[in-house]
Amino acid sequence: MRTTIADLSAMKTRGERIAMLTAYDAPSAALAERAGVPALLVGDSLGMVVHGFETTLPVTLDLMVAHAAAVTRASEKALVVVDLPFLTYADIPSAVAAAGRVMRETGAGAVKLEGAGEIVHIVERLTALGVPVMGHLGYTPQSTHQIGLKVQARGGEAARRLIEDALALQAAGAFAIVLELVPAALAAEVTKRLSIPTIGIGAGIGCDGEVQVWHDILGLYPTAPRHARRFGEVGAAIEAAVSDYVKAVQAREFPTDANSSKMTPEALAEALAFDSAAE
């Protein structure tokens, strides 16, 4: 039985913090779930950390569907939330079609949409149609060219707008909201005012939960954003292991008999006799 949006709501009520993590493929999903992650985000950050794009904007719905399907196939218990990519939810018909594909073709339990304003009525329509929607406020990467990669809503007016946006998304039926790169005091204030969980990233300790990017917490790249902590140095471990592999191949230490299959000398002789007869 997978984690449900009601389970996340109950975690907020109990004051139990929600540890969400991105997952983009089968092994990361299985490992994260075994480690106790209750909710996996197939974020469109995969465009940057997996596919090497500079932003999330080139990510397509086909790409999201392929990655999300791998994540749901490899997990059994986690709620899987999938980002709808840039401009796939610009109006209600597009949003319904995009969310429909994600829910039908991947087996995910929810979608995530960035922003408020124009997006609120789309959230309302999707939730009315039975699609669980997670909101995303603060730094919204799909608007990076407009807002810049920096902490958002530091000023009084922008902070007030963010609180209003969060309340509007909640009223539209969102089951949770990601708060990315917003001042900790503001995120804590939003969290107090909402009945739905807030999930922070670069938003301090006052949210109901946290979401981080797989590659950032595992040290898969030489640098990680300030809001991340490297809980492991998996990149260095992979590099050392691959380097050992290269050396073992070059030194003829690998593969050994244990990695190889045998045949009888008679069978080999028969094959070679057949081979020379053909010549």
Sole binder of ligand KIV in the list 126, 194, 213, 218 (CB under 6 A):
213
Of the pair 106, 239, the CB lying nearest ligand KIV is at 106
- Measured at the CA of 180, the angle between CA 22 and CA 223, to 5 degrees, comes to 60
E strand intervals along 171-259: 176-180, 198-201, 209-212
Tell me the catalytic residues. Answer: 180
Name the minimum Å distance from CB 213 to ligand KIV.
5
Q: Is residue 8 a contact point for ligand KIV (CB under 6 A)?
A: no
Name the minimum Å distance from CB 61 to ligand KIV.
14
The contact mask relative to ligand KIV for 25-54 (x = CB under 6 A, - = no) is: ----------------x-xxx---------
Q: Is residue 218 a contact point for ligand KIV (CB under 6 A)?
A: no
Of residues 55, 135, 63, the one with CA closest to residue 101:
63
Subset of residues 170 to 199 that bind ligand KIV, contact rule: CB under 6 A: 178, 180
Q: Are the C-beta atoms of residues 217 and 232 closer than 8 Å to each other?
A: yes
Dist. CA 200–CA 178, nearest whole Å: 6
Distance, C-alpha 21 to centroid of its chain? 6
The contact mask relative to ligand KIV for 71-90 (x = CB under 6 A, - = no) is: ------------x-------
List phi, psi (to 5°) of 102.
Answer: -60, -45
* Torsion sign over Cα 22, 45, 127, 139: positive
Name the minimum Å distance from CB 228 to ligand KIV.
10
Q: How many residues of this chain bind ligand KIV (CB under 6 A)?
A: 11
Of the pair 174, 178, the CB lying nearest ligand KIV is at 178
Element (H, E) at 70: helix 61-74
Length of the chain as a residue count: 279
Classify residue 118 by its DSSP letter: G
Name the minimum Å distance from CB 131 to ligand KIV.
17
Residue numbers at the binding site for ligand KIV (CB under 6 A): 22, 41, 43-45, 83, 178, 180, 201, 211, 213
